Structures are given as C-alpha cells and as structure tokens.
Amino acid sequence: MAMRRHVLEDLRLVRLPSDPSISPDGSRVAYVLTEVDGDENKRSLWWVGRDGTPRPLTRGKADTAPRFSPDGRTIAFLRDKQVWLLPADGGEPEQLTELPLGAGPPVWSPDSGRIAFAAAVNATPPGEPVVSERPMHKVDGVGRLGGLGSQVFVVDLADRSVTQVTDGTAFAGTPAWSPDGTRLAFADQLAGDGDMFAPAPAVVLNLSTSDIELVGDDKVLAVSWHGDDLVLVAMPGTEAANQTLVRDGRNLAAELDRNVMPGGGGYPGALPQAFGQELLFCARDNGCTHLYSVKNSGVHKLVGGGRVISGLSVANGSAAVIVSTVDIFAEVAFLDPATGDLSLVTSYASVFDDVVHVRPEPRAFTISDGIEVRGWLRRDPSAPTPGPLLVDVHGGPHNAWSPVRDWIHLYHQVLVAQGWTVLLLNPRGSDGYGEKFLQAALGAWGEADERDFLEAVDSLVAEGIADPDRVALTGYSYGGYMSCWLPTRTDRFAAVVAGGVISDLTSAVGTSDAGPAIAEHEIGGPDRLAALSPLAHVAEVTSPTLILHGEADQRCPIGQAEQWFHALHDRGVPTRLVVYPGASHLFVLDGKPSHRLDYQSRIVAWLDQYAGKRS
C-alpha cells in the first residue's frame, strides 16, 4: 500500500462514534455516528454487536442520544431535539414529543413504562424584548436567556401522554430515575436567582406527592443513582478545583486528587454509572480521561495509559465505552468491567490505514522554579534539525492536551509532515496533575504559566530541535488569550495565530457568558483584570499575528478579537482578522466543516509565510 501523510481535507473523512447505549443483554451497542455530509455534520444512529459489524439504525441527519429501554425492546432517541421511539429490532420510528424548544436526552424508567427528560421552556415569546436580571444572561451556542428555563417532563408510554412534572423550579438538568421508579433526581436552581448552565444544587422529586427535596448544598454538574443512594458530580466551592464524586455526603474520589469528568464539549468523560456494587466514573490523569471503579476496597483504575474514555454505558453486568488512543480518533469497545479489558468493535480509523501519522513523544520540562510540566512533542525524527517549532496552547485554562489522535488539530500532522515540531504542553493550570497544579495559575493568568512555555522552548532550542528564528505560537480560547499575552512578553515568536481570543479581561468579564465565573473563580479583583489583559501591554508586540474568531462567540465575544486587531494594526504589526459568520465558541470542535477546514488551513499558511523558511 502506498503510504501518504495527512492532509487537512482528511477532516471530511473522519467518522466519530459517541454517546453509547448498551443493550440490557449486553449483546450490542447503539451509538451516534457523526460524519461530514457536504458542509454539515450529520448525526445518525448505528448499532454494533460483538461481531464488529456496524449497522445503521436510523437515517436522520440530527439523530442523537440513543437509549435502550431496560426491557431491551425499544430505543428512545432524539431527532431534531424531539423524543422518538424505535423498535430495538428495527422498524418505523415514532415521534413522542412536539415541544416548542425541543427536549433533552431521554431517560427510561426502570420498568420501561415511562421516559423522563428536561426541556427548555421560554416565557419570552420570540421577537419580544429580552429582560435579564441574572449575571449569566446568555450562553454561547444558545443565545440570550431572558425568560428561558428548563423543566422536567415525563412521557407515559401507555397513552403517550407528555406531562410537565416541575413548575416552580428555574432550570432543571437531565433527570435520573430512582431504582424504584418513584422519584426523579436532577440538578436544579431552587432559588430562582441561579444561572442556567451554571452548576446547581441536586434535588429529588417525589412523583406521587410532587414534593421536592434539596440534597445537600453541593453545586452539581450531573446526578445518577447507585442503589438507593444518589451520586453527584459536584463542583468545588468558590474557586477552580477538582470536581468531586459525592455519595451520601462523601467524596469517593478524594484519594485520587483528580478531576472527575462527567463529559462535555472538549472535556471527554462520562456520567458515573453503577456496575453492581461498584461505581464506574471518569477522571483525568496526565492529559488522559481514564475509567475508574469505586469498590469497598477503594478506587481502582480500570482503563488507563494513553487512552481517553469519552462515553460509557453499563447494563446488567455488561459495559461499552468510546475510546481514543494514539492511533484511533474514537472507536466503540465492549468493556469487561471486572478486568478493564477492551474489545474494539468498530474501525472507523481504518479509512486512514494508508496514512503515516506521527505519534507523540512524551516530554517533561523542569522549570526554573522547580515545577515539572509535562506534555508531548509531535515531530518526524527524520526531519532536519534545528527546524521550525509550533507552541500550541490548550484552552481552559483547565483543559489539557492528551497523546491521542485528534481531528480538531489535524494541522499538527500536516505541519509535522512539513518538518515542524509541535509542542503540546500542559502548563500549570492544566487539569490532570492534581488540584494544587490546577490552581497554580489562579489570579495569575499568563504570568504564572508563561515561563512554562518559554523555558520549554529554551530547552528545545538548546537540544538543537528548534530553530530560535522559526518559533511560532498558536492557541484557541484560553490558548487564544495566551497567543495574545506571550507576544507582549517576548519577541521570539516569528508567527502567531490567535484563535477565539481574550485580549481585554475587563470587558470580557462583562461581555463573556463565562464572565462571572472568570471574575469569581479565576482572576479575582478588577485591578488584576487590567494587569493581566494583553491589551494593556500591546505596545510590546512585534510578532505578525493572524486572528481567527467566531462571529457569534459568546464565550470570547468578537469584540475581544476586534480590539486586538485594531491595536496591532494601529502599531504597524502585521495582522489579519478572519471572522467566521454565525460561528459560536466551539465551532472549531463541531462547527461547519468548511469553517473548520478554513481555520486549520490559515494556520498552516500563516506559519509557512512567517516562520516556515530558514532566514
């Protein structure tokens, strides 16, 4: 077979399984398959058995959240955000809901007789003025909240009736049935002054009495049951810290000192799930999301190493996951929960069997203050040295690079094929190295982590890997912030591509949907906001800078990019601003394929123009 290197157009060939649901008899797994269809990301449902032959379940374009009924006869799923049913052995789907703003993922009652879900409801009619009284008044990818709330509904399959079972509460998260089917637990804002999409207290609704009971005072991201005990993935208190796994008021994952990962855009993980007397959950370690089991004897790692778990489904002693490795973007696997052994049953990566992709080299750098920071290098060992080096800064700041093959950053493989080295560093502030490390940049964005990057570059130059005249910088979101900040501290970057930027923290706190969280949990007082804003130091910048930004980004609003573009232009620094029409913050993750391809193409071109050739 004639081998080739990755090209950016390959992102159109990537097919990604997600959101698995294992059948009660453990024989097969239903999942969402996302693939590029023209300029859309098509999502349809498939299933696969232990024979490893995937088969289509639905032919929709926006089919998500497949859920086997406990009796195994039916699969509930979302189509265009409405709840549908499909006979598990095939047949015609049936639409169950027609809600104005759609429904959230369906959750079967233990007796397979009912389905619960949370659904957005809006007291503000379309086109009417939007009144805001809460600090979080908009959400990226959703828009202005106004009178938007979220309530819990139950469908009775006997008569297909759809009943709203909560009213007074403000924002209800996806519910979880108690084992006896009499109660529903969910995260909710009881006080009414809470913020949608912000972590909220857990409550239990008694369906026969409609009584709602508050469960503890943890702010929770997700709820599930372990026997008759409620299990919470809880947020820390006032500042950024590890998310915890709480059952009966106790943090079951305390001994790990790792962040519990319930799963979410760009943050792989899965909802904790009971496996007999054990409880399975995900936590991040050294950049990877691993699978753990809580047993009477403590917490044990089930799936570790260079693997990332981004989906989990457990039923009657069987389990399935979505797993990524250094060689595969994402595949479906059956899991032996007793041993942690994985049996892959899909091979979507095989479409790239003719591609030579470069695996990452693990690296550790001891910084001058004694802190060790870890990461990976992607480079072709046969490439001439010293060669061009790209420093790519991850987001968060509490996100992290992992070594697995990823489609968001296919440009890494393209650059490596052109002789580049790509540094993927997890500096202080990154997740996966303990709470103290995660908190090491609080109140000191840029200041605390800059030397981690600059000293790692020094090391690679000293090793003869990196040409000091061809060092480039890029990053998105928090990485975009750092791609503005670092060039105010040094002129060593021959080329910079800043994506989804934050350039002015003072205005960002007031205009970002995460503004209150940034101010409260990350930066602290207003005086620090100005000092840590790249805009306050833009006079120092000389590096040619390409700015790439989503027009509808509410996490890092477009004004952050426009201010930086204007300030650089005003100082004669070579700069260009590219705005992606209608794109929200996460467009680089799941936006239009043409936008994702354009974004990555521009990075490669800008780096080639300003740092690719020897001087």
Binding residues vs ligand LTI5PX6W (CB under 6 A): 265-266, 394-396, 399, 476-478, 481, 502, 512, 514, 517-518, 521-522, 555-556, 586, 588-589
The answer to whether 232 and 246 have CB atoms below 8 angstroms apart is yes
Q: Which amino acid is at 343?
A: S
The answer to whether 463 and 381 have CB atoms below 8 angstroms apart is no
- Comparing CB distances to ligand LTI5PX6W, the nearer of 511 and 542 is 511
- Comparing CB distances to ligand LTI5PX6W, the nearer of 31 and 481 is 481
Q: How far is the CB of 235 from ligand LTI5PX6W (least distance, A)?
A: 11
Q: How far is the CB of 100 from ligand LTI5PX6W (least distance, A)?
A: 28
C-alpha–C-alpha distance, residues 587 and 281, integer Å:
28
Order of strands across the sheet with 40-49? 16-22, 28-37, 40-49, 55-56
Strand pairing report for 74-79 and 273-275: unpaired
CB-based contacts of 9, cutoff 8 Å, min separation 6: 597
Q: How far is the CB of 342 from ligand LTI5PX6W (least distance, A)?
A: 25
Q: How far is the CB of 585 from ligand LTI5PX6W (least distance, A)?
A: 6
Q: How far is the CB of 157 from ligand LTI5PX6W (least distance, A)?
A: 37
- Comparing CB distances to ligand LTI5PX6W, the nearer of 67 and 555 is 555
**Sign of the alpha-carbon dihedral angle for 507, 510, 513, 519:** positive
C-alpha–C-alpha distance, residues 415 and 503, integer Å:
27
Q: How far is the CB of 190 from ligand LTI5PX6W (least distance, A)?
A: 23
C-alpha–C-alpha distance, residues 115 and 74, integer Å:
12
Tell me which residue of 569, 595, 460, 586 sits closest to 12, measured CA to CA. Answer: 595
Order of strands across the sheet with 331-335? 308-315, 318-324, 331-335, 342-344
Q: How far is the CB of 140 from ligand LTI5PX6W (least distance, A)?
A: 8
The answer to whether 537 and 530 have CB atoms below 8 angstroms apart is no
- Comparing CB distances to ligand LTI5PX6W, the nearer of 318 and 584 is 584
HEC sequence for 119-149: EEEECCCCCCCCCCCCCCCEECCCEECCCEE
- Comparing CB distances to ligand LTI5PX6W, the nearer of 342 and 484 is 484
- Comparing CB distances to ligand LTI5PX6W, the nearer of 261 and 577 is 261
Q: How far is the CB of 523 from ligand LTI5PX6W (least distance, A)?
A: 9
- Comparing CB distances to ligand LTI5PX6W, the nearer of 331 and 513 is 513
For the chain, the first-to-last Cα distance in angstroms comes to 37
- Comparing CB distances to ligand LTI5PX6W, the nearer of 380 and 406 is 406
DSSP 403-419: SS--STTHHHHHHHHTT
Q: How far is the CB of 187 from ligand LTI5PX6W (least distance, A)?
A: 17
- Comparing CB distances to ligand LTI5PX6W, the nearer of 101 and 589 is 589
